Structure 1
Amino acid sequence: MGRPYDQDEWLEGEQISPLAFAGERNAIVLTDRFSSGTIQQALQISEERYRYTVALSPLIPWIADAGGGVMDIDVRGLERTGLSYEQCMGWNFLSAIHASDRPLVKAAWEEARLTGQPLDYEMRLRQHDGSFRWQRCRAAPRRRADGGILCWYGTIEDIDDRKMADEAVRWSADHDDLTGLWNRRAFMDGLRKALAGAEGSDVEIALLLIDLDGFKSLNDRHGHDAGDGLLKATARRLEKFGAGDALAGRLGGDEFALFIYTADRQQLEATVGELREVLTAPCSLNGQAHICRASIGVALYPAHGKDADGLYKCADLALYEAKEAGGGVRYFKSEMRADQQVHMSELSIARHVLDHDQVQPFYQPKVDLRSGAVVGFEALLRWNDHIYGVHTPAMIPAAFEDAELAIALDQRIFERVAADIASWRKAGLAFGRIAINIAAVQFGQPDFADRLLDQVACAGIEPSSLELEITESVFFGRAVRKILGIFERLRAAGMTIALDDFGTGYASLIHLKQFPIDVLKIDCSFVRALKDSTNAAIVQTVTDLGKRLGITTVAEGVETEAQAAQLRRKGCNLAQGYLFSPAISADQVPAVLAKRYPV
């Protein structure tokens, strides 16, 4: 233990004095060159310079004996900690160090005493107000002639601000700024560590991937503040399940993840069920109550994946299945891999078609059920493989769920249709309107209407030559005013709007009331089953509705004369199908226009 410093005290034959602390080397030089009076004056100047240097330095100097007990400390150290001089002496100073850091400090001193190496460690030091601040403690030994340690000269530096800044940077590197959950990288690192720890044991780990249903719709309708509020609320709810050894993270957007240790499948299902209830509880956002449902994909270690990346892929496949089913929970099954391979194959084919410029529109005529005349065509996507011939979109349904590919395919088919229209117009053909199917994702593009009208102008064709076919999915998750504005802009330019597959999904009378629809298309599934009284009644209702609202009705998939006759009697305006003509290439259109079909 150290003792209070006394400049007259001799320690093992050597004197420790303020002179040693202030610059003893200067004293030796001065002794050789000057008289005692001059030396005394020089020493006073040197000590004064030292005092000013210490006072201006942020470092607090101290002296400890060979064993590490404090012998002296600058008065600023006392002021900072609120301790008295006596309370600092010896190892009493340890009481001012944070309890969690004391073992580190003791270990550092023990090693320094054994090795004689300089000290350098960080600790939290209690302040006079009871708070703790981070300090950096450094010290170097002063040795005797025989090499033994006489004492230690050290400093204390306040590094709390820098430490907190460093902690903030480290925190940001591992956490999501908005929700405070672990980010993707940190979450996956945590998952890897958990799997490594469970290897060779009977422990199962369940990885849950969570996607918020309707999040984009909420963002569009109520603004990003509401969307951010929902993400924060979801994070708080997940943290309840992320306690202990489990871990919750936000992987990006509205996708969250959670892994939990599970004893058995029954317990896991109960936990996931509880999680769903928590996630779907009403949430107050901007003063309004919202219910946001979630899709959850679950995969188990080690049954479904031996490493973090493999487990994630399995959980992602399960999540995709859950979202396709409209929400809920799906557990990974091996057949999902085969479905995913098909999905990826379809996307690959679509990219190949685009890259090799194989897109080609085929045209199916629309026939007036009263006159038998061709009054227009529907442009259908085809592509011509020089080896296997012409293919239909039935080979690539996944491409129309991919925003980038869907837009690219729409763009390519429009370019081809516009070129055909210009050619027919130049030849003086009266081809009516050409209907083009537009992917729902297009209506989410902020400049869709302007872009389409610019393309029409650049192609040198009239907007009145075109009819845009949409499906009910256009209305889902999008602001009514935005869609209405697009429709009105395009109709004002001369285009018409057709609602495809009416009656097969959720398209309803409210859509006909809200949006300016010019054409209703009766799905082929109703046409094929016209002999069934229920289907016949539905078709009759649609045609009657069209008459009252001034909307043209078109029946798809007409294959027999009996179907055409029944549709005509029910008041359907137009029909298309194999009874009249399959989809044909552009060079066959002039011959079809010259026909008049018996109806």
Structure 2
Amino acid sequence: MGHPDGLEEWTEAKEVGAPGFAAERRRLITGLADSRSDIGTALDASEERYRYTVALSPLIPWIADAYGNMIDIDVRGLEYTGLTYEACMGAGFLKAIHPHDRPMVRAAWNGARVTGLPLDYEIRLRHHDGSYRWHRSRAAPRQERGGKIALWYGTIEDINDRKMADEAIRWTADHDDLTGLWNRRAFMEGLRTALAGAENSGVEVALLLIDLDSFKALNDRYGHDVGDALLKEIAQRLQGNGAGDSMAGRLGGDEFALFIYTPDRTQLEETIAALRLALAEPCLLNGQAHSCRASIGVALFPEHRTDADGLYKNADLALYEAKVAGGGTRYFKSSMRASLQARMSELSLARHALDGDQVLPFYQPKVDLGSGIIKGFEALLRWRDPKHAIHAPGMIPAAFEDAELAIALDERMFERIAHDITKWNRLGLPIGRIAFNVSGATFRQEDFAANLLARTERACIPASCLELEVTETVLLERTSHNVTETFERLRHVGMTIALDDFGTGYASLIHLKQFPVDVLKIDCSFIRSLDPSNAAIVRAIVNLGRDLGITTVAEGIETDAQADRLHREGCDQAQGYLFSPAVAAEQVPALLANLHGPVGPKLRFWPC
């Protein structure tokens, strides 16, 4: 039987009359209509499911012709980009793609049209508000018989959150989370890449290692919040003061690094000078200005090393030399390796002396130039080697540049001094005041005064038997308020303060005005040769001390002529080989009994 839509349908023929045929025909037509209604309903349901599936999916579907020209896109793509349907057609959709990503998209389509392979790339797509978000675009071709591409069916997926999370993970892996600079691993990898690129270019690469001077003291004094703020400020200054293609990193603590491509040494020196000026600018932290000085070590590729690790080691040697010199910039020299080995040997000797309990004080008397009375002693560090030879600290200077060792030596010295004072007091010896020195590392400790007084109390010795000697260099490592507070606390319990090597510092008179001190020690460099200029300086210091009510003590007296001249100038006290070298604690009683002064009879004693 012929079907209305042209298809043939087999039916079973029956012999029926006219009324019966009509009825049968009506039944067949009704059945066919019901069948078609079912098919239409199924199609409507399928189309509805598709619409909801597309609407609920995060994917935005689109269709392009064989050449990649857009011919259809879901309405959500229009709503997202703010483009009209007409504006999207053809190559118009490119306008919604970030300009930096468009060349990659064009290249991908050019390749896909030739190969017929699916497309899959990530792009930044402009939102209707003007912002960009990362999306993934994928497409597959529908091919005709023979393999010719007829259409491309594709989707766009928003992957911005995942992309940002991935980038955050990568950023964290490569950057210092406090300052935002490259971390040690990433910086060294960048340095290796830079050296490889510069290998045949004839351009130098300068590696700068930068360490902040006295950062620990600031951190201890004002807290980690201020310290962190300073590190972030320094990081910004480093980023803003590199030359050309440079890369800055934080290697840890207060150590930073910077490498710079430099065509000539003059430009490098100008860059470093500008960097030092930028770093030296005061930082305003929590409403207070803080100065920041830095030590810089420099090593050059290819002159000093051609590999990143070797270049870093050489820059580190130069940095160490800069710190030992009190700051500034040092370029690597091969001789620095020998210096480092010598310093390592000195540190080893100092540790061995501490571990073997070989550190001990020797005592040099301080004599009143007018009466010949011993007013006290200065305790000087000595150490005894395994063969019982006595050595001065000049053999281990590096130990006093190492904070941990310097503090340990100071603590050991004070223990011995306290023990000796206790013993002399039991013998009833009139020893006067015992002056002792502390390193900058010890003096910088936030609780220095409290610790010192606690040690004095535990040793059961009166603070009035002690005199703290500090150099002007040590004073520079703490704020004036902090120094004044420390001195006043110690003086309150009877301890006196002596300013050592007076006249050799940068701001001697300012320190006298700022800080409460009791004694000025005139440096031996002025005494050694009392020519007219040195004599004038000594006279000025003595007069200054007399006017301010401060005792003056001359160091390094070796001749009667020196002692007589200082006595005539009005200097109060003196110490030196003329009276006695520094002696062991066991020799102090005999020294007190036998020593005669350059003026007057046998010395008398000023009891504590």
The answer to whether the superposition gives a TM-score over 0.5 is yes
**Residue of structure 2 aligned with 1:231, choices 224, 229, 234:** 234
Residue 306 of structure 1, CA deviation: 1.5
Distance 2:301 2:378 in 1: 51
Paired position in structure 2 for 1:383: 383
Residue 39 of structure 1, CA deviation: 5.9
Paired position in structure 2 for 1:21: none
Paired position in structure 2 for 1:568: 567
After TM superposition, list the pairs within 5 Å mapping 1:273-352 onto structure 2.
Answer: 273=270, 276-277=273-274, 280=277, 296-321=296-321, 329-352=329-352
C-alpha change, 1:382 and 1:117, in structure 2 (3 Å) is farther
Paired position in structure 2 for 1:400: 400
Residue 499 of structure 1, CA deviation: 1.2
C-alpha change, 1:283 and 1:293, in structure 2 (3 Å) is same
Question: Does 2:511 correspond to 1:511?
Answer: yes
* Cα deviation digits, residues 94-147 of structure 1 (max 9, x gap): 454334334433554566677776543201224445554321123466789999
Question: Does 2:549 correspond to 1:550?
Answer: yes
**Which one-letter code corresponds to 2:379 in the other structure?**
A
Distance 1:121 1:432 in 2: 86
Residue 518 of structure 1, CA deviation: 1.4
Residue 489 of structure 1, CA deviation: 0.4
CA contact (8 A) 1:297 1:329 kept: yes
After TM superposition, list the pairs within 5 Å mapping 1:475-514 onto structure 2.
Answer: 475-514=475-514
C-alpha change, 1:284 and 1:468, in structure 2 (3 Å) is closer
CA contact (8 A) 1:443 1:483 kept: no
Residue 403 of structure 1, CA deviation: 2.3
Residue 355 of structure 1, CA deviation: 3.6
Residue 438 of structure 1, CA deviation: 1.2
After TM superposition, list the pairs within 5 Å mapping 1:237-248 onto structure 2.
Answer: 237-239=240-242, 241=243, 243=244, 245-248=245-248
Distance 1:469 1:50 in 2: 89
Paired position in structure 1 for 2:603: none
* Cα deviation digits, residues 140-167 of structure 1 (max 9, x gap): 6678999998866543112234434544
C-alpha change, 1:199 and 1:432, in structure 2 (3 Å) is same
**Which one-letter code corresponds to 2:540 in the other structure?**
T
Query: How many equivalent residue pairs?
Result: 559
Paired position in structure 1 for 2:101: 101
Residue 331 of structure 1, CA deviation: 3.5
After TM superposition, list the pairs within 5 Å mapping 1:519-558 onto structure 2.
Answer: 519-530=519-530, 532-558=531-557
Distance 1:509 1:92 in 2: 78
Paired position in structure 2 for 1:198: 198
Distance 1:511 1:201 in 2: 53
C-alpha change, 1:217 and 1:381, in structure 2 (3 Å) is closer
* Cα deviation digits, residues 196-248 of structure 1 (max 9, x gap): 12224533323344567798999989x76995686366336414x1x2x4444
Distance 1:91 1:355 in 2: 80
Paired position in structure 1 for 2:441: 441
CA contact (8 A) 1:178 1:232 kept: no
Identity of aligned residues (%): 66
After TM superposition, list the pairs within 5 Å mapping 1:44-123 onto structure 2.
Answer: 44-63=44-63, 70=70, 72-89=72-89, 93-108=93-108, 119-123=119-123
Report the 3-state secondary structure (helix = DSSP H, G, I; strand = E; otherwise coil) of the residue aligned with 1:597: coil
Report the 3-state secondary structure (helix = DSSP H, G, I; strand = E; otherwise coil) of the residue aligned with 2:556: coil
**Which one-letter code corresponds to 1:502 in the other structure?**
F
- Greater Cα shift, 408-417 or 197-206: 197-206
Paired position in structure 2 for 1:10: none
Distance 2:288 2:412 in 1: 44
CA contact (8 A) 2:184 2:250 kept: yes
CA contact (8 A) 2:239 2:248 kept: no
Report the 3-state secondary structure (helix = DSSP H, G, I; strand = E; otherwise coil) of the residue aligned with 1:431: coil
CA contact (8 A) 2:324 2:401 kept: no
C-alpha change, 1:195 and 1:228, in structure 2 (3 Å) is closer
Report the 3-state secondary structure (helix = DSSP H, G, I; strand = E; otherwise coil) of the residue aligned with 2:351: helix
C-alpha change, 1:202 and 1:542, in structure 2 (3 Å) is closer
Distance 2:326 2:450 in 1: 33
- Greater Cα shift, 63-72 or 211-220: 211-220
**Which one-letter code corresponds to 2:57 in the other structure?**
S
Residue 193 of structure 1, CA deviation: 1.0
RMSD of the TM alignment (CA)?
Answer: 4.0
**Which one-letter code corresponds to 1:300 in the other structure?**
L
Report the 3-state secondary structure (helix = DSSP H, G, I; strand = E; otherwise coil) of the residue aligned with 1:436: strand
Paired position in structure 1 for 2:602: none
CA contact (8 A) 1:554 1:574 kept: yes
CA contact (8 A) 2:422 2:461 kept: yes
Question: Does 2:367 correspond to 1:367?
Answer: yes
Distance 2:513 2:67 in 1: 90
Report the 3-state secondary structure (helix = DSSP H, G, I; strand = E; otherwise coil) of the residue aligned with 1:491: helix
C-alpha change, 1:146 and 1:351, in structure 2 (3 Å) is farther
Paired position in structure 2 for 1:588: 587
CA contact (8 A) 2:238 2:275 kept: no
Residue 543 of structure 1, CA deviation: 3.1
Report the 3-state secondary structure (helix = DSSP H, G, I; strand = E; otherwise coil) of the residue aligned with 1:341: helix
Residue 378 of structure 1, CA deviation: 1.5
Report the 3-state secondary structure (helix = DSSP H, G, I; strand = E; otherwise coil) of the residue aligned with 1:137: strand
Contiguous gaps of at least 5 residues in structure 1: 1-33
Task: Report the TM-score, using the length of structure 1 for normalisation.
Answer: 0.79
Distance 1:373 1:431 in 2: 11
Residue 506 of structure 1, CA deviation: 3.0
Residue 301 of structure 1, CA deviation: 1.5
Distance 2:276 2:413 in 1: 42
Which has more radius of gyration?
2
- Greater Cα shift, 428-437 or 587-596: 587-596
* Cα deviation digits, residues 258-299 of structure 1 (max 9, x gap): 433344xxx421452265257537968669999977765443
Task: Report the TM-score, using the length of structure 2 for normalisation.
Answer: 0.78
**Which one-letter code corresponds to 2:198 in the other structure?**
A
CA contact (8 A) 1:353 1:359 kept: yes
Paired position in structure 1 for 2:576: 577
Paired position in structure 2 for 1:411: 411
Report the 3-state secondary structure (helix = DSSP H, G, I; strand = E; otherwise coil) of the residue aligned with 2:241: helix
C-alpha change, 1:357 and 1:568, in structure 2 (3 Å) is same
**Which one-letter code corresponds to 1:537 in the other structure?**
A
**Which one-letter code corresponds to 1:268 in the other structure?**
R
Paired position in structure 2 for 1:269: 266
Paired position in structure 2 for 1:23: none
CA contact (8 A) 1:216 1:477 kept: no
